[in-house]
């Protein structure tokens, strides 16, 4: 079937096959690159937020708490001395501008039950305890609110933590008054009790990658079809049409119309071919004259 097609049709079919084969290859490759870039963007945002929250905790424990202890000896101001409380307050204010971004100190036995680890977080917490996970876990999580990229890092109990989380009988009265004595105590130094978790929405960057892919595919298709049109015009005008004229002229000469000439305006292989056909026509005319004389 393909061999029986006209040159013009065959050329068009070949170019369409090239387009149909190249489009999915380029689309898949582009989607892979765009999705990887989207994941990198999400990872950078998650790392930035986690670093900010860990910085808040570090500043609270190393600078703010000692300063307040000097100013208010014997007092424990939860809003300024508890690293967990300060970090929670900062992330609440951050969520007013970035409502889908969140930070959580997911804990099995917290003072503030808002930090209670859910099933997913407890699973990761136990994996850190068992050594299955070492220093960090990162990955995607589907939630009722959409898809999130999550980074989790384990937190081990330090001696300073036992001031509030050791024995409720020796804990600051401000802590006991606010949170009671039923939970958040009995921690042991070195025990992994918390995973600092940051949740970053992953749907928007991935959707943007898909939109970029659609745009890229449309642009590629447009450029390919435009180039195909230009090439088609050039090849048809400079190669296929002259060949068609050659065929038409040769057919007419074969029917005895010896007054027809092979006309070519270029000075290339087509001109050489036209000259060869012209010489063949002259030879054919001479042969026919000889046959007539006989």
35 and 179 housed in the same domain? yes
* pLDDT tier for residue 125 given thresholds of 50, 70 and 90: very high
Let me know: does 103 contact 49? Beta carbons within 8 Å.
Answer: yes
Let me know: does 93 contact 236? Beta carbons within 8 Å.
Answer: no
Dihedrals φ, ψ of 174, to 5°? -65, -35
Let me know: does 100 contact 88? Beta carbons within 8 Å.
Answer: no
146 and 156 housed in the same domain? yes
* pLDDT tier for residue 181 given thresholds of 50, 70 and 90: very high
**Radius of gyration, CA atoms only, the chain:** 40
* pLDDT tier for residue 11 given thresholds of 50, 70 and 90: confident
Let me know: does 199 contact 148? Beta carbons within 8 Å.
Answer: yes
Q: How many domains does the chain have?
A: 2
Q: What is the pLDDT of residue 292?
A: 66
150 and 192 housed in the same domain? yes
192 and 72 housed in the same domain? yes
* pLDDT tier for residue 288 given thresholds of 50, 70 and 90: low
Q: Which residues contact 31 (CB under 8 A, 6 or more apart)?
A: 209, 210, 213
d(CA 247, CA 226): 29
CB < 8 Å & 24+ apart, contacts of 250-259 = 250/277, 253/281, 253/284, 258/284, 258/285, 258/288
What percentage of the chain carries pLDDT values higher than 90?
37
d(CA 260, CA 252): 7
Q: What is the pLDDT of residue 144?
A: 85
- Pick left, alpha or beta for residue 107 (phi over 0 → left; psi -120 to 50 → alpha; otherwise beta): beta
Helix axis angle for 83-97 and 7-59, nearest 10°, is 140
Q: At residue 9, does pLDDT exceed 60?
A: yes
Q: Specify the CATH number for the domain of residue 135.
A: 3.30.450
215: its two tokens: 């745009």
203 and 251 housed in the same domain? no
Answer yes or no: is 1 within a domain.
no
Q: Which domain holds residue 159?
A: 21-209
Mean pLDDT of 181-187: 94
Answer with the one of 209, 236, 256 that is the final residue of a domain.
Answer: 209
Q: At residue 225, does pLDDT exceed 90?
A: no
d(CA 242, CA 291): 32
72 and 182 housed in the same domain? yes
pLDDT in tens, 34-46: 888 888 888 888 8
Answer with the one of 209, 226, 248 that is the final residue of a domain.
Answer: 209
Cα–Cα distances in angstroms (integers) from residue 20 to residues 1, 132, 139, 211, 225, in the given order: 20, 47, 35, 21, 11
Answer yes or no: is 11 within a domain.
no
């Amino acid at each position: 079937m393909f061999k029986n097609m006209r040159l013009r049709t065959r050329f068009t079919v070949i170019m369409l096959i090239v387009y149909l084969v190249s489009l999915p290859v380029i689309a898949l490759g582009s989607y892979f690159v765009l999705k990887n870039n989207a994941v990198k963007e999400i990872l950078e945002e998650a790392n930035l937020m986690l670093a900010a929250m860990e910085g808040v905790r570090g500043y609270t424990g190393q600078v703010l708490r000692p300063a307040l202890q000097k100013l208010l000896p014997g007092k424990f101001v939860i809003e300024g001395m508890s690293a967990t409380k300060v970090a929670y307050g900062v992330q609440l204010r951050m969520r007013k501008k970035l409502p889908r971004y969140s930070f959580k100190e997911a804990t099995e036995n917290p003072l503030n039950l808002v930090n209670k680890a859910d099933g997913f977080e407890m699973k990761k917490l136990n994996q850190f305890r068992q050594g299955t996970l070492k220093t960090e876990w990162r990955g995607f999580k589907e939630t009722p609110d959409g898809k999130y990229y999550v980074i989790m890092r384990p937190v081990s109990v330090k001696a300073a933590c036992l001031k509030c989380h050791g024995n409720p009988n020796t804990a600051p009265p401000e802590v006991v008054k606010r949170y009671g004595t039923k939970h958040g105590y009995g921690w042991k130094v070195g025990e992994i009790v918390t995973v600092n978790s940051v949740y970053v929405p992953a749907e928007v960057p991935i959707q943007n990658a898909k939109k970029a892919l659609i745009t890229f595919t449309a642009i590629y298709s447009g450029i390919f079809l435009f180039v195909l049109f230009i090439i088609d015009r050039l090849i048809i005008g400079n190669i296929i049409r002259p060949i068609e004229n050659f065929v038409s002229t040769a057919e007419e000469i074969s029917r005895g119309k010896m007054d027809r000439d092979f006309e070519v305006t270029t000075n290339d292989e087509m001109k050489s071919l036209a000259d060869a056909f012209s010489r063949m026509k002259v030879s054919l005319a001479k042969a026919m004259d000889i046959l007539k004389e006989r």
